Structure 1
Amino acid sequence: MDLPELSVRSQLLDAGFTDDEVRRLVRAGRLTPLRRGVYVEGSVPDDVLAKHVLQVEAALGQLADDAVVSHVSAAVLHGLRIWGIPLDRVHVTRSRRNGGRCGALVHVHTAPLDPAEIVTIGGRPVTSLARTIADLARSLPFERAVVLADAAMFHKRTDRLERAGLVEALARAPRWPGSPAARRVVAFANGLSESVGESRSRVALAAGLALPELQWEVRARDTGEFIGRVDFGWPGVRTVGEFDGLVKYGRTLRPDQDPVEVLVAEKLREDALRAEDLGVARWIWSDLNRFAPVAARIRSHFRPT
């Protein structure tokens, strides 16, 4: 992330600025308070993730040297997809038995940390990808934890996390609170989910349908010609499911391409799928909050086996 520079009041005073000058810089918009005694040059980013990275940087400057960025703050620094988790506090962990606290801006956790569970990102000490997911899977609701675990295992990540690494991370502390729930998350996680919507869809589908094949490559039955890759497939009952997050259409756009072209191409792709005697069911974000009608629609497309 290309982030603005931070300025700490004590450093500004050491550089010869007075408090009156600092206040004038704030009024002029050249400095914006980020937290008490810490300013960002210019304005605070609108992007909540970029803002959280700045908050992490500001917090670390005021915490003990053994504080390691952890939990959702570590997930942000690892570049994971995040859904439904507040970013109002910076989370850090100190490797000790007590001394934890949860304030308005910082949550200090205390728990054993092995040196192998600490990595460096942008010069900051951060819990490893495996330890980060283990911590969050022990403490978050199932659906939110699955979104994060899927993102960590995402097959296109250069540093993708293997399931074995997650199992090992949980095995280091098998009796910690939340461990049974975390093991359920790890068993369910799948690196083939390509978005928050697809991860949430998998959780919703598991409540009443057989789990589908992810990223199913559909080919013509007579020629073997590739027709398309679908989000979810039930090959045995000739049915496919697609989560329409809209953003995925934007990702496919070339700089010179009209969005209408992408929608037309998607319509032709769906026609080709139906021509292969495949039932096609689609759903959108709002459907994920009340999925039973979608599940019934998917089931109605199932062909007799």
Structure 2
Amino acid sequence: MNENVIFVRELRGNGFSGDEVARMVTRGELVRIRRGAYVRPPAESTDPFGELRDSHRRLIDATLPQLHPRAVLSHGSAAVLHGLPLFPAMLDTVHVTRDRQGGGVRRRTLRVHGSALRDVDRCVVGDLLTTSLARTVTDLARCLPYEQGVAVADAGLALRADPALLLEALDQARSWHGGPQARRVLAVADGRSESVGESFSRLTINQAGLPTPVLQLEVFDDHGVLIGRCDFAWPDRRTLGEFDGRVKYGRLRRPGETAEQAVHREKLREDALRDQGWQLARWTWDDLCRPGVIADRLTRAFARAGTPWGG
């Protein structure tokens, strides 16, 4: 259990009245997790999902005393522990699975799922019993919207989820709710995607009917020196595609380097890629809401490279 969770009985035992606790919450000195459970305000996180992850982990810690000893953290709660991408709707409650048929329970801060759990479907992360990475990916592939499920599955493969165990989990879930969708999700999952934005971009490119890109292509100069690794590439069309997430330049920064220096270095990299005869198309999160914009940028890049796309 996380020792940072403070229960109201402990506060009262230390002489704090209910009014004093309420004032501490108002002043921001305590954050209420659920009735009777509080934490100190969290430190700022560099994890792009850090706020969601920290908030839900506190909810898990505050809920643990209520859980049945054979309950296994699962779904979004397991995703928090495994370091998978997170989306707000999957974290509205603590999710656990019990090894039984049916018997699901939904409360305000707790969702109990009933389904078969083999030994291979369980593991321990830290000191918490949770569903395995393969089972967690499969459960979320069944339950999340398709695009989010793909992003989670991509990340699961990047975290070295065992493909054989994923296939076993898919087979086990074939008649469960969302089983067919899970198969569609895992059929297109690719562990080379390095962010949710890249996963969403890959689906957008596919839905636009554009040629399938190569992922994470390394581009070298005439002397064999690596210029850079690019998110998407169409080598036969001499075109590169890059998703620019809001945290991308933070990831690119080297020790001691300012954000401005990282941006300048990225510009030099882009110039070097163009010097090698590559066309470059970029897009952002906002562009993902307008898939026609991405398709237009790529088709124009293909045309500049002398390989127009007429599909």
Q: TM-score, normalised by structure 2?
A: 0.86
Instruction: Return the alpha-carbon distance in structure 1 between the equivalents of residues 31 and 202 of structure 2.
Output: 42
Instruction: Return the alpha-carbon distance in structure 1 between the equivalents of residues 89 and 211 of structure 2.
Output: 28
Instruction: Return the alpha-carbon distance in structure 2 between the equivalents of residues 290 and 48 of structure 1.
Output: 26
User: Is it true that 1:7 corresponds to 2:39 in the alignment?
Assistant: no
Write the mapping of 1:1-305 to structure 2, written as runs, cut at 5 A.
5-9=4-8, 16=13, 21=17, 23-28=19-24, 32-40=31-39, 42-43=40-41, 47-83=51-87, 85-154=89-158, 157=159, 160-207=160-207, 208-220=209-221, 222-302=222-302, 303-304=306-307
**Equivalences, count:** 295
In structure 2, relative to structure 1, the CA distance for the partners of 1:203 and 1:186 (3 Å cut) is: same
Answer with 164-173 or 106-115: which moved more: 164-173
SS of aligned partner of 1:61: helix
The structural deviation recorded for 1:125 is: 1.1
Q: Is the 8 A contact 2:213 2:233 kept in 1?
A: yes
Q: Is the 8 A contact 2:122 2:131 kept in 1?
A: yes
Code of the residue aligned with 1:118 in structure 2: it is R
Code of the residue aligned with 2:61 in structure 1: it is E
Instruction: Return the alpha-carbon distance in structure 2 between the equivalents of residues 233 and 137 of structure 1.
Output: 27
Q: Is the 8 A contact 2:52 2:88 kept in 1?
A: no
Instruction: Return the alpha-carbon distance in structure 1 between the equivalents of residues 163 and 89 of structure 2.
Output: 23
In structure 2, relative to structure 1, the CA distance for the partners of 1:205 and 1:83 (3 Å cut) is: farther
The structural deviation recorded for 1:275 is: 1.7
Code of the residue aligned with 1:285 in structure 2: it is W
Higher helix share: 2
Q: Is the 8 A contact 1:26 1:32 kept in 2?
A: no
In structure 2, relative to structure 1, the CA distance for the partners of 1:28 and 1:143 (3 Å cut) is: closer
What are the Cα deviations for residues 47-79 of structure 1, in whole angstroms up to 9, with x where unaligned?
Answer: 221110011122221121121110011001111
Code of the residue aligned with 2:57 in structure 1: it is V
SS of aligned partner of 1:85: helix
Instruction: Return the alpha-carbon distance in structure 1 between the equivalents of residues 24 and 228 of structure 2.
Output: 55
% identical equivalent positions: 45
SS of aligned partner of 1:94: strand
Instruction: Return the alpha-carbon distance in structure 2 between the equivalents of residues 262 and 32 of structure 1.
Output: 36
Q: Is the 8 A contact 1:84 1:144 kept in 2?
A: no
The structural deviation recorded for 1:144 is: 0.3
In structure 2, relative to structure 1, the CA distance for the partners of 1:211 and 1:191 (3 Å cut) is: same
